[in-house]
């Protein structure tokens, strides 16, 4: 849905410096999240991000994507952030690894949007309750591996096919029963919200 040819052809525009700083801060915070939290953030961004926020992040993506191919390399991330804020203090390789959810060595537009979105604004209990219900297809109060697969396969079957689902679910499964209760889901995502503050 967010991967469109328009991002490749969109003309460069001026970007508010505070927006640039906010996006860079969000990218840095995203690298602290585990795979489960990152995937859930991506899911929530597609559901909840406002068009204004997406527009601002799109502008930053376009500014960093110097070759206009719709993907960001480590060099483009380094050069783009240095150009925007004039610093090299950020660990660009870690940002690339964290944002590159499908591990293809580059950051797509969707991956960038998920990494750069304001996590604190997305991670409210109401939003998390609604997301849990969407994953808990059978309504039994738990998210199973099959339910995770079903939701993520609908969005992108190619990126979900190489996931080790048991390892993925362990990040939130505190009691080791290979499923995620609502409390476990809320806890792990609220932990991500605290990291994003």
Query: Residue 188: pLDDT band by 50, 70, 90 thresholds?
Result: very high
Judgement on whether residues 111 and 173 belong to the same structural domain of the protein: no
DSSP 24-51: HHHHHHHTTS-HHHHHHHHHHHHHH--H
Give the CATH number, domain containing residue 176.
1.10.238.10
pLDDT of 70 above 80: yes
Query: Residue 197: pLDDT band by 50, 70, 90 thresholds?
Result: low
Judgement on whether residues 105 and 140 belong to the same structural domain of the protein: no
Judgement on whether residues 58 and 114 belong to the same structural domain of the protein: yes
Judgement on whether residues 157 and 170 belong to the same structural domain of the protein: yes
* CB-count burial class (<10 Å; 0-12, 13-18, 19+) for 140: exposed
Residue ending a domain, choose from 68, 88, 121:
121
Distances 94 to 21, 72, 102 between C-alpha atoms, Å: 18, 14, 15
Query: Residue 82: pLDDT band by 50, 70, 90 thresholds?
Result: confident
Q: In this structure, is residue 1 part of a structural domain?
A: no
The pTM of this model reads 0.74
Judgement on whether residues 155 and 186 belong to the same structural domain of the protein: yes
Do the Cβ atoms of 61 and 52 come closer than 8 Å?
A: no
Distances 188 to 30, 109, 176, 196 between C-alpha atoms, Å: 14, 25, 14, 13
The DSSP output letter for 180 is E
The distance from CA 116 to its chain's CA centroid, rounded to whole angstroms, is 7
Number of domains in the chain: 2
Residue ending a domain, choose from 121, 153, 171:
121
Judgement on whether residues 49 and 68 belong to the same structural domain of the protein: yes
Q: What is the pLDDT of residues 137-186, one digit of tens each?
A: 999 999 999 999 898 876 543 445 557 888 889 999 999 999 999 999 99
Query: Residue 196: pLDDT band by 50, 70, 90 thresholds?
Result: low
- Give the domain extent around 152: 122-196
Judgement on whether residues 166 and 73 belong to the same structural domain of the protein: no
Judgement on whether residues 131 and 149 belong to the same structural domain of the protein: yes
Residue ending a domain, choose from 121, 146, 171:
121
Judgement on whether residues 117 and 127 belong to the same structural domain of the protein: no
**How far is the first Cα of the chain from the last one, in angstroms, to the nearest whole number?**
28
Give the pairing of strands 142-144 and 107-108.
Answer: unpaired
Judgement on whether residues 83 and 138 belong to the same structural domain of the protein: no
C-alpha Rg value of the chain to the nearest Å: 17
Q: Following CA atoms 67, 73, 76, 78 in sequence, which dihedral angle do they give, to the nearest 10 degrees?
A: 180
Distances 52 to 25, 33, 180 between C-alpha atoms, Å: 18, 25, 33
Judgement on whether residues 117 and 128 belong to the same structural domain of the protein: no
Q: Tokens 């660009």 label which residue?
A: 92
Q: In this structure, is residue 22 part of a structural domain?
A: yes
pLDDT at res. 127: 87
Judgement on whether residues 23 and 113 belong to the same structural domain of the protein: yes
């Amino acid at each position: 849905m967010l991967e469109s040819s328009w991002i490749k052809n969109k003309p460069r525009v001026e970007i508010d410096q505070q927006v640039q700083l906010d996006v860079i801060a969000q990218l840095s915070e995203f690298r602290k999240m585990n795979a489960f939290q990152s995937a859930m953030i991506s899911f929530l961004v597609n559901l909840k991000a406002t068009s204004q926020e997406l527009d601002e992040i799109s502008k930053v993506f376009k500014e960093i994507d110097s070759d206009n191919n719709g993907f960001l390399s480590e060099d483009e991330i380094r050069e783009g952030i240095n150009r925007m804020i004039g610093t090299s203090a950020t660990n660009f390789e870690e940002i690339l690894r964290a944002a590159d959810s499908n591990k293809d060595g580059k950051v797509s537009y969707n991956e960038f949007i998920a990494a750069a979105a304001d996590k604190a604004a997305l991670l409210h209990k109401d939003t998390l309750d609604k997301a849990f219900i969407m994953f808990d297809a059978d309504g039994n109060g738990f998210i199973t591996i099959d339910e995770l697969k079903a939701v993520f396969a609908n969005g992108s079957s190619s990126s979900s096919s190489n996931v080790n689902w048991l390892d993925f679910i362990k990040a939130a499964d505190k009691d080791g029963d290979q499923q995620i209760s609502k409390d476990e889901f809320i806890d792990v995502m609220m932990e991500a919200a605290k990291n994003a503050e």
